[in-house]
């Protein structure tokens, strides 16, 4: 029984992804309209009957503004967030449907989930690792730096969704006001292409060689573009003796487009 991931949208205009097996589906974030989420289900042939939960990484609007419409489309869908994030979410979802998680692993259907801290200017932002059938998927976006302590599930992930938000030079010369540029480049902002590449080098050199897929995500529409993110990370890997091939696949998630199933 496989473990799969599909992105419905990734970026500052809205985020939503789906992790699923043959029996269980879990949405990650609800930053896009419910009609787009349900269209994504149709596009990939996913049965809504398999949808068992919605996880929220943090309270920012591009991740949480459509909780109510998504919840309204499936009346029995439980919504999961940590307790601090719940205090910042604006939602009319009933208390019976609100579930809180901690850093302890928990399960939804046949998928085990582990939340871990990331570094972002939200009240308690997290990334997630998902495990089922001996396979692991980890999602780490909206972080200005790589956390010092990451669970083994991230380091050993078969599929890693990693933020590559901006090119530093494009951001510096772009039209954003300076305070926003400082926020994005800060330790509680967003990872650059370069930071993502150098962390991948560190990860790959200190972990056992294995087949691994890395998806670059949450790309800025103003300060990045898919080919630049991909090429920058590829160049950094190759400069450090690491090459794409059968055991390492590097792809980018395009904004506002339903991705292939990984």
Specify the CATH number for the domain of residue 68: 3.60.15.10
Q: Considering its fold, how many domains does the chain have in total?
A: 1
pLDDT digits (tens, 9 = 90+) for 210-225: 999 999 999 999 999 9
Read off the pLDDT band of 1 (50, 70, 90): low
In a domain? residue 79: yes
CA separation for the pair 169, 144 (Å, rounded): 16
143: containing domain: 4-252
Read off the pLDDT band of 246 (50, 70, 90): confident
State residue 143's pLDDT score: 98
Q: What Å distances lie between residue 218 and 73, 188, 223, CA to CA? A: 26, 15, 11
Contact in structure between 16 and 253 (CB atoms under 8 Å): no
In a domain? residue 149: yes
Closest CA to 49 of 30, 10, 23: 23
pLDDT above 90 (res 239): yes
Q: What Å distances lie between residue 87 and 128, 230, 247, CA to CA? A: 20, 37, 42
Helix (H, G, I), strand (E, B) or coil at 203: helix
In a domain? residue 236: yes
In a domain? residue 261: no
Average predicted confidence (pLDDT) for the chain: 97
Neighbours of 205 (CB within 10 A): 11
State residue 251's pLDDT score: 98
Burial of 157 (0-12, 13-18, 19+ CB in 10 A): buried
Q: pTM of the predicted model, to two decimals? A: 0.96
pLDDT digits (tens, 9 = 90+) for 98-145: 999 999 999 999 999 999 999 999 999 999 999 999 999 999 999 999
Closest CA to 145 of 129, 160, 165: 165
């Amino acid at each position: 029984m496989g473990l799969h991931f599909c992105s419905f949208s990734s970026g500052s205009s809205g985020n939503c992804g789906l992790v699923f097996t043959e029996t269980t589906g879990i949405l990650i974030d609800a930053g896009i309209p419910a009609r787009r989420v349900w269209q994504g289900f149709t596009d990939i042939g996913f049965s809504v009957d398999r949808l068992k939960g919605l996880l929220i990484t943090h309270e920012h609007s591009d991740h949480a503004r459509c909780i109510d419409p998504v919840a309204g489309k499936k009346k029995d869908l439980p919504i999961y967030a940590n307790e601090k994030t719940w205090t910042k979410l604006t939602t009319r979802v009933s208390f019976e449907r609100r579930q809180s998680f901690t850093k302890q692993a928990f399960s939804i259907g046949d998928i085990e989930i582990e939340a871990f801290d990331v570094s972002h200017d939200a009240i308690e932002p997290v990334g997630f690792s998902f495990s089922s059938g001996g396979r692991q998927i980890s999602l780490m976006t909206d972080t200005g730096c790589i956390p010092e302590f990451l669970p083994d599930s991230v380091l050993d992930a078969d599929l890693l969704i990693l933020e590559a938000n901006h090119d530093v030079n494009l951001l510096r010369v772009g039209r954003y006001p300076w305070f926003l540029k400082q926020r994005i480049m800060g330790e509680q902002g967003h990872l650059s292409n370069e930071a993502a590449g150098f962390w991948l080098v560190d990860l790959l050199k200190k972990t056992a060689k294995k087949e691994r897929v890395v998806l670059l995500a949450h790309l800025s529409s103003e300060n990045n573009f898919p080919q630049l993110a991909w090429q920058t990370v590829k160049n950094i890997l190759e400069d450090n003796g690491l090459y794409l091939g059968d055991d390492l696949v590097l792809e980018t998630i395009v904004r506002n487009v339903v991705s292939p199933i990984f």
